[in-house]
């Protein structure tokens, strides 16, 4: 037998066209639906190509009696019931009347067709709500609406009529009383021309949405033999009454009181595969043989020969997205991998890689049917099959199907027709991570558009993997150190086992000087714009746990790293902390936190600071270096108390500026000032006292004076000193601190040290090695670490600030090390690169205008912004003072003078403060002290609604600090996935064509990726196709070329504004229901759209006035295209 297929123009790439022996296009020039309704054209094609039989399939003309007549009139065989039977049963009103005639129970309903809304309204007045509106012709849920209240009755009636007419060419409807919580059970029938009818048992189709079946199973579970026998007998009775021929399905609603006939579908149904699996009967083959004249007995199909064999379940896998109200998704299937194995059957539609899913037809991709000896076995096979599917490029309902099959009601056979609508927990979806395709999309974007990482200049300097050096055993340097597992011995053991107080006591009692390595935080913040990624720390982390096991701490968190990780590196800072903690369990981790601001730059409610600190300790942080950018004690108190309450070691920092060895030059910042401030900190109950020399101003003589005085005043308090090497003297200063009584000094690995970073670890440790102040760190292992980090520095050369030498000018301008490089970069971005000397001079003047303040983030940013403002506007210091009442200062400067950072030492300079802030709010105490508590539970719910159930308490803490940055980070990771395991050279630049790269994505899971080719740009769409090999298989991604000139004008997209209403799905505009200037209320329908034969209203999200209508009837839209713009009332 030869198969001949017909296809519309829109279906020219469909699977059925290619699988048939012959295929011919139908309905040329017609709409996608009209093409398959072109009866005469279909018959003409059949006659021209020697076709003898026509199978009408599932929909379109399958229940059209007129078409069946035309087929037979043309001398062809129609594979289906006789035309008069289709007319009698396909029309649900006539079928209902027939059932009543032979005493088969039916649900109360209208006696005939409803043509006008007034007739429908009359029925409701007699029988009440709820009711169901049904298309008299067709099936599949088209033209059906359940209505429960009068308000939506008329619009639902009109939509049902319109939808039925679009789907079946007939807008006739009828109305029935709607039963609450019934089951939908149907019986498969076969009849022949000799009057024989058999049933093939029943199927439970209760799991459905919008009356379209989603999951079908057979035989029905939890169904009494009495009701089963009644249902099967009724089905056969109706079929025999009309002399039914061929395949058909008799459908019933079932509740606890009885079985009610609904209709007979005089065609094969989508779910016939369930029956085939439990009976072993090929229903399609039987259809053809019956149409050819065979009787059921000749086919061996007598009732006593038909038996059930186990259970079967069918899932319809579609491109409907449950997370957006089952809106059909469209686009190109980029990846298609199907399930298989024992008891798994697949009936494919458009399920293949490269298939273009359009809005014109049903969204079904494939039917998956599983079979088992018991219902539970069949169910478990289906769950396995759903997990095996990999479909990328379009969203599918697979996560939803998994939830349905896992729900107790389904497991126990207790589902009903509105089960989906009544069970909201089904929508708590665990969606596929789609990690591989997202990663390819990122790499494809790199290949087409280059890196988008802000601050990157050029490509990474290293093109190969960085080798891990060999380390020596500190106790016997002739032996190689085994670093295959993390070291378990270190200073953190004391914190974990005995607490912060015992840790501080042990540090103070240590005879030598301890070091803290800043390589993982401040060093790269100062040298590489904070762009160091987690993977490059993790790669050397185990080795570091051994090489630096006697280190006081590793600084790896806080400061700018929290913000930059999300904003520019698209990494979760909490995951960084957890990852490194697993690899380094023995060395304490330290974070730099800004007093009352934690890791943010603004004021926060007190409970936000407490919650953030608690989460930090829970995720692996040990030591909080708490500072305030103005040395404002009230800000410090909150940060100190939050860290203590969280269980962390509290290291309170004095921010150092001026020169205690030359008090005449810096009148405010004398030795007495620092001693008094230190006393206030110690009185807060801190564990460690720190000196934070953020600009590198602490000269050796000043270090001896300051540390010596602090040691004398606080003999039992550990002292920790931090500095920068901007002027080139910090190694000398740290040695002076050690000699004066400091317990800990900050250093960085040699290749990440010097200039605006910290002093050299190798230099400091070597200088102290043969003294009583030795650090206990192996010099050989420092050099091994240095080999690794010198390569990392080369890798990240595209973020270097191009600072080539030390700058003793820091003693004059006092810029913090981290700001020095950042301000230079910002000046370049603002077009001031040729005026760096002027910016430095203006920085000094801006500091004086602010009152000679302590300068560290965020106060240093105020001075930097002020300086750039002065240079950009060509102002002098005197002109700023004179014109302060009329100039538009940067917001950071205004907020500083308002008091949003706190109170500077000695107060604000007047009258400059009053001139700058004018009538704005003035804060004279701790900013944030009066802020209401942060609503963590409410925010978590909002974030969950927006980003899904994966939102954690750490995510909420991130959002509390940086709401916009966090949202952008989540949106990026939703698009591209977790890129933290992608090697840095491929994160920053495209892989070379033909080079295979390995990317681990999970334990025991590594992707092998090869870039094969990039296509020329499509001048119509502006897209390029990027071809990869993923684990040896071809993968194609579509990437927009952001530099391409395109010929096609794209539709305007909806924005995030509340009144900007976008299309909820890809589809065609059926009707625009409002006019410009119309007043609308939230929820009012604005337009009607059609996609895959389903009509949906686009509703107003807010109340207001329609400002603009961006579409017209007949327009084809993509999801998110602007439909209407509303001015919010």
618 vs 395, more confident? 618
Q: Please name the residue that has the structure tokens 């969204």.
A: 363
Here the tokens at position 678 are 């230190």
pLDDT tens-digit map of 821-850: 777 766 666 666 677 788 899 999 999 999
Q: Please name the residue that has the structure tokens 């599983």.
A: 370
Most confident among 158-162, 292-296, 1086-1090, 1101-1105 (mean pLDDT): 292-296
Nearest to 220 by CA among 207, 209, 233, 238: 207
- Backbone φ and ψ of 999, nearest 5°: -125, 110
- The whole-number pLDDT of residue 1046 equals 61
Nearest to 57 by CA among 347, 354, 396, 358: 347
Q: Is the pLDDT of residue 1048 over 60?
A: no
pLDDT tens-digit map of 986-1020: 999 999 999 999 999 999 999 999 999 999 999 88
- Backbone φ and ψ of 371, nearest 5°: -130, 140
The band of 375, judged by pLDDT with boundaries at 50, 70 and 90, is: very high
**Preceding omega of 51 cis (within 30 degrees of 0):** no
Nearest to 806 by CA among 724, 867, 745, 749: 724
Q: Is the pLDDT of residue 141 over 90?
A: no
Mean pLDDT value across residues 170-188? 89
Enter the DSSP assignment of 832. -
Question: What gap in Å lies between CA 52 and CA 5, rounded to an integer?
Answer: 13
The sign one gets for the Cα dihedral 445, 448, 452, 453 is: positive
Question: What gap in Å lies between CA 602 and CA 895, rounded to an integer?
Answer: 10
Question: What gap in Å lies between CA 277 and CA 338, rounded to an integer?
Answer: 19
Q: Is residue 353 within 8 Å of residue 1083, measured between CB atoms? A: no
Binding-site annotation, residues for substrate: 594, 857
pLDDT tens-digit map of 307-363: 999 999 999 999 988 888 888 888 888 889 999 999 999 998 877 888 888 888 888
The band of 1047, judged by pLDDT with boundaries at 50, 70 and 90, is: low
- Backbone φ and ψ of 318, nearest 5°: -125, 175
Judged by average pLDDT, the poorest of 88-102, 123-137, 681-695, 1064-1078 is 88-102
- The whole-number pLDDT of residue 686 equals 98
- The whole-number pLDDT of residue 349 equals 82
Length of the chain: 1129
Enter the DSSP assignment of 1020. T
Q: Please name the residue that has the structure tokens 């108390």.
A: 641
Question: What gap in Å lies between CA 1056 and CA 750, rounded to an integer?
Answer: 48
3-state secondary structure of 645: helix
Q: Is residue 349 within 8 Å of residue 356, measured between CB atoms? A: no
- The whole-number pLDDT of residue 831 equals 67
- The whole-number pLDDT of residue 177 equals 85
Cα 447 to Cα 508, 568, 620, 1042: the distances in Å are 54, 19, 37, 12
Question: In this structure, are strands 53-54 and 77-78 parallel, antiparallel, or unpaired?
Answer: parallel
Judged by average pLDDT, the poorest of 223-227, 255-259, 468-472 is 255-259
pLDDT tens-digit map of 684-717: 999 999 999 999 999 999 999 999 999 999 999 9
The rounded radius of gyration (Å) of the Cα atoms in the chain is 37
Q: Is the pLDDT of residue 1092 over 70?
A: no
Q: Is the pLDDT of residue 1083 over 90?
A: no
- Backbone φ and ψ of 711, nearest 5°: -65, -40
Whether 345 is a known active-site residue: answer no
- The whole-number pLDDT of residue 1020 equals 83
pLDDT tens-digit map of 913-955: 999 999 999 998 898 888 999 999 999 999 998 998 889 999 9
pLDDT tens-digit map of 44-77: 999 999 999 999 998 889 989 999 999 999 999 9
Question: What gap in Å lies between CA 45 and CA 53, rounded to an integer?
Answer: 12
Question: What gap in Å lies between CA 1069 and CA 452, rounded to an integer?
Answer: 36
Q: Is the pLDDT of residue 655 over 70?
A: yes
Q: Is residue 45 within 8 Å of residue 63, measured between CB atoms? A: no
209 beta partners: 212
pLDDT tens-digit map of 542-556: 999 999 999 999 999
Question: What gap in Å lies between CA 1055 and CA 1058, rounded to an integer?
Answer: 8
Cα 1106 to Cα 1071, 1075, 1127: the distances in Å are 16, 7, 6
Question: What gap in Å lies between CA 141 and CA 135, rounded to an integer?
Answer: 9
- The whole-number pLDDT of residue 354 equals 82
Question: What gap in Å lies between CA 861 and CA 884, rounded to an integer?
Answer: 19
Question: What gap in Å lies between CA 415 and CA 435, rounded to an integer?
Answer: 34
Mean pLDDT value across residues 419-442? 89
- Backbone φ and ψ of 920, nearest 5°: -80, 165
- The whole-number pLDDT of residue 532 equals 98
Delineate the domains of the chain, giving CATH numbers in brackets: 4-84 (3.40.50.20), 317-399 (no CATH), 435-458+980-1037 (3.10.600.10), 490-654+670-798 (3.20.20.70), 810-917 (1.10.472.90), 936-976 (1.10.10.60), 1060-1128 (2.40.50.100)
Distant-in-sequence, close-in-space partners of 238: CB < 8 Å, separation ≥ 6:
89, 95, 98, 99, 102, 104, 244, 250, 261, 264
**Preceding omega of 219 cis (within 30 degrees of 0):** yes
Q: Is the pLDDT of residue 1093 over 60?
A: no
Mean pLDDT value across residues 1023-1052? 85
The band of 666, judged by pLDDT with boundaries at 50, 70 and 90, is: low
Count helices and strands in the chain by DSSP H and E runs? 41, 43
Q: Give burial (CB, 10 Å; 0-12/13-18/19+) of 111.
A: exposed
- The whole-number pLDDT of residue 472 equals 93
Question: In this structure, are strands 688-692 and 719-722 parallel, antiparallel, or unpaired?
Answer: parallel
Q: Is residue 391 within 8 Å of residue 336, measured between CB atoms? A: yes
Here the tokens at position 1043 are 């530099």
pTM, whole model, 2 decimals?
0.77
Phi-psi region of 778 (alpha: psi -120 to 50; beta: other; left: phi over 0): beta
Largest CA distance in the chain: 118
Q: Which of 183, 267, 345, 567 is catalytic?
A: 267
- The whole-number pLDDT of residue 289 equals 98
Question: What gap in Å lies between CA 810 and CA 651, rounded to an integer?
Answer: 26
Mean pLDDT value across residues 808-820? 85
Question: What gap in Å lies between CA 645 and CA 810, rounded to an integer?
Answer: 38
263 beta partners: 251
CA 511 to chain centroid: 51
Q: Is residue 91 within 8 Å of residue 116, measured between CB atoms? A: no
- The whole-number pLDDT of residue 1075 equals 93
């Amino acid at each position: 037998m030869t198969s001949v297929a017909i296809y519309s123009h829109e279906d020219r790439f469909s699977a059925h066209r290619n699988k048939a022996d012959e295929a011919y296009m139908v309905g040329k020039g017609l709409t996608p639906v009209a093409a398959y309704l072109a009866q005469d054209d279909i018959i003409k094609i059949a006659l021209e190509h020697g076709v003898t039989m026509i199978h009408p399939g599932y929909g379109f003309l399958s229940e059209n009696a007129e078409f069946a007549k035309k087929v037979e009139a043309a001398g062809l065989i129609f594979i289906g019931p006789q035309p008069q039977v289709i007319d009698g049963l396909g029309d649900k009103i006539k079928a209902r009347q027939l059932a009543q005639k032979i005493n088969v129970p039916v649900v109360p309903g209208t006696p005939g067709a409803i043509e006008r809304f007034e007739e429908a309204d009359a029925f409701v007045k007699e029988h009440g709500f709820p009711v169901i509106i049904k298309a008299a012709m067709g099936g599949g849920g088209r033209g059906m609406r359940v209505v429960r209240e009068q308000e939506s009755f008329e619009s639902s009636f009109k939509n049902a009529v319109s939808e039925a007419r679009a789907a079946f060419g007939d807008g006739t409807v009828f109305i029935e009383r709607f039963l609450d919580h019934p089951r939908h059970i149907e019986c498969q029938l076969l009849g022949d021309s000799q009057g024989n009818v058999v049933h093939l048992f029943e199927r439970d189709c209760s799991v459905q949405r919008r009356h379209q079946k989603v999951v079908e199973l057979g035989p029905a579970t939890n169904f009494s033999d009495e009701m089963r026998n009644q249902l099967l007998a009724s089905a056969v009775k109706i079929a025999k009454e009309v002399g039914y021929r061929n395949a058909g399905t008799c459908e019933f609603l079932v509740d606890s009181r009885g079985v009610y006939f609904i209709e007979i579908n005089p065609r094969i149904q989508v779910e016939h595969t369930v029956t085939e699996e439990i009976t072993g009967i090929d229903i399609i083959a039987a259809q053809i043989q019956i149409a050819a004249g065979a009787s059921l007995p000749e086919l061996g199909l007598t009732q006593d020969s038909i038996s059930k064999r186990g259970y079967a379940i069918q899932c319809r896998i579609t491109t409907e997205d449950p997370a957006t109200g089952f809106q059909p998704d469209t686009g190109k299937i980029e990846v298609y991998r199907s399930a298989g194995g024992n008891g798994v059957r697949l009936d494919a539609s458009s399920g293949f890689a490269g298939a273009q899913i359009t809005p014109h037809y049903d969204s079904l991709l494939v039917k998956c049917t599983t079979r088992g000896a018991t219902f539970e076995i069949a169910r478990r096979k289906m769950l396995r099959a759903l997990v095996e599917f990999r479909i990328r490029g379009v969203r599918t309902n697979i996560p939803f199907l998994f939830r349905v099959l896992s729900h107790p009601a389904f497991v126990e056979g207790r589902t009903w027709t509105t089960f989906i609508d009544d069970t909201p927990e089904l929508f708590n979806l665990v969606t596929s991570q789609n990690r591989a395709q997202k990663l390819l999309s990122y790499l494809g974007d790199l290949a087409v558009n280059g890196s988008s990482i802000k601050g990157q200049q050029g490509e990474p300097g290293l093109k190969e993997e960085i080798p891990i050096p060999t380390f020596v055993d500190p106790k016997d340097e002739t032996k190689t150190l085994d670093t295959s597992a993390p070291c378990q011995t270190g200073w953190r053991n004391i914190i974990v086992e005995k607490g912060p107080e015992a840790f501080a006591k042990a540090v103070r009692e240590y005879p030598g000087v301890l070091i803290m390595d800043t390589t993982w935080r401040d060093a790269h913040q100062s040298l590489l714009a904070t762009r160091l990624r987690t993977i490059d720390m993790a790669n050397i982390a185990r080795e570091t746990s051994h090489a630096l096991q006697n280190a006081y701490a590793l600084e790896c968190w806080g400061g700018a790293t929290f913000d930059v990780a999300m904003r520019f590196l698209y990494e979760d800072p909490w995951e960084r902390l957890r990852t490194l903690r697993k690899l380094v369990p023995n060395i304490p981790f330290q974070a730099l936190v800004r007093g009352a601001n934690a890791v943010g730059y603004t004021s926060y409610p007190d409970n936000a600071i407490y919650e953030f600190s608690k989460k930090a300790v829970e995720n692996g942080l040990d030591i909080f270096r708490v500072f305030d950018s103005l040395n404002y004690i009230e800000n410090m108190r909150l940060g100190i108390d939050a860290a203590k309450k969280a269980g962390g070691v509290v290291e309170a920092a004095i921010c150092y500026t001026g020169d205690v060895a030359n008090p005449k030059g810096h009148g405010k910042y004398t030795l007495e000032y620092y001693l008094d401030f230190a006393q206030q900190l110690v009185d807060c109950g801190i564990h460690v006292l720190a000196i934070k020399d953020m600009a590198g101003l602490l000269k050796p003589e000043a270090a001896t004076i300051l540390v010596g005085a602090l040691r004398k005043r606080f003999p039992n308090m550990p002292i920790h000193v931090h500095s920068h090497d901007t002027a080139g003297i910090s190694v000398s200063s740290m040695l002076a601190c050690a000699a004066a009584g400091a317990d800990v000094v900050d250093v960085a690995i040699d290749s990440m040290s010097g200039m605006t970073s910290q002093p050299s670890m190798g230099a400091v440790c070597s200088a102290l090695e043969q003294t009583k102040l030795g650090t206990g760190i192996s010099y050989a292992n420092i050099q091994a670490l240095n080999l690794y980090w010198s390569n990392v520095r080369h890798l990240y050369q595209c973020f270097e600030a191009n600072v080539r030498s030390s700058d003793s000018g820091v003693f004059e301008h006092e810029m913090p090390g981290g700001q020095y490089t950042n301000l230079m970069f910002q000046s370049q971005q603002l077009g001031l690169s040729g005026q760096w000397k002027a910016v430095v001079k203006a920085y000094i003047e801006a500091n004086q205008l602010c009152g000679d303040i302590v300068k560290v983030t965020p106060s240093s940013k105020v001075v930097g912004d002020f300086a750039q403002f002065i240079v950009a506007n060509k102002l002098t210091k005197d002109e700023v003072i004179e014109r302060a009442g009329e100039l538009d200062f940067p917001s950071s400067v205004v907020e500083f003078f308002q008091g949003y950072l706190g109170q500077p030492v000695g107060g604000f300079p007047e009258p400059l403060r009053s001139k700058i802030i004018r009538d704005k709010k003035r804060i004279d105490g701790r900013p944030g002290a009066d802020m209401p508590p942060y609503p963590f539970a409410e925010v978590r719910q909002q974030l969950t609604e927006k980003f899904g159930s994966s939102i954690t308490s750490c995510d909420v803490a991130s959002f509390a600090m940086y709401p916009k940055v966090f949202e952008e980070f989540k949106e990026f990771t939703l698009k591209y996935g977790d890129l933290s395991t992608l090697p840095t050279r491929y994160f920053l630049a495209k892989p070379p064509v033909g080079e295979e790269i390995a990317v681990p994505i999970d334990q025991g899971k590594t992707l092998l990726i090869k870039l094969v080719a990039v296509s020329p740009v499509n001048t119509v769409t502006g897209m390029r196709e990027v071809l990869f090999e993923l684990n040896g298989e071809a993968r194609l991604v579509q990437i927009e070329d952001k530099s391409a000139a395109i010929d096609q004008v794209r539709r305007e997209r909806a924005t995030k504004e509340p009144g900007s209403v976008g299309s909820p799905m890809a589809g065609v505009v059926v009707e625009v229901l409002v006019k410009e200037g119309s007043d609308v209320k939230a929820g009012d329908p604005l337009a009607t759209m059609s996609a895959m034969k389903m009509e949906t209203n686009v509703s107003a999200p807010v109340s207001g006035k329609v400002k603009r209508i961006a579409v017209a009837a007949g327009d084809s839209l993509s999801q998110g295209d602007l439909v209407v713009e509303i001015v919010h009332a």
